[in-house]
Amino acid sequence: MKPWQVIYYVFLGLVIAIALLLVVSVLPVTGNYKILAVQSGSMTPAIKMGSVVVVKPQEDYKIGDVITFGKSSKTQTPTTHRIYDIKVNVGEVVYITKGDANNAPDSKEISQKEVIGKVIFNVPYAGYLVAGARTKLGFALIIIIPALAIIIDEVFKIVKEVKGKKDEKQKA
- Considering the domain boundaries, does residue 168 fall inside one? no
- Considering the domain boundaries, does residue 165 fall inside one? no
- Considering the domain boundaries, does residue 146 fall inside one? no
Alpha-carbon distance 14 to 58, whole Å? 32
Least confident range from 20-24, 38-42, 99-103: namely 20-24
- Considering the domain boundaries, does residue 37 fall inside one? yes
Domain total in the chain: 1
pLDDT of residue 14: 76
Residue 33 structural domain: 3-134
CATH number, position 97? 2.10.109.10
- Considering the domain boundaries, does residue 65 fall inside one? yes
Mean pLDDT of the chain, nearest integer: 86
Residue 51: active-site member = no
- Considering the domain boundaries, does residue 166 fall inside one? no
Between residues 151 and 132, the one the model is more confident about: 151
DSSP β-ladder status, 66-69 and 110-111: unpaired
The beta strand positions in the chain, using DSSP E, are 34-37, 52-56, 66-69, 79-89, 92-98, 110-111, 115-123
Per the residue annotation, which of 40, 51, 72, 107 is the catalytic one?
Answer: 40
pTM of the predicted model over 0.85: no
Q: How confident is the model at residue 103 (pLDDT cuts 50, 70, 90)?
A: very high
Alpha-carbon distance 156 to 150, whole Å? 10
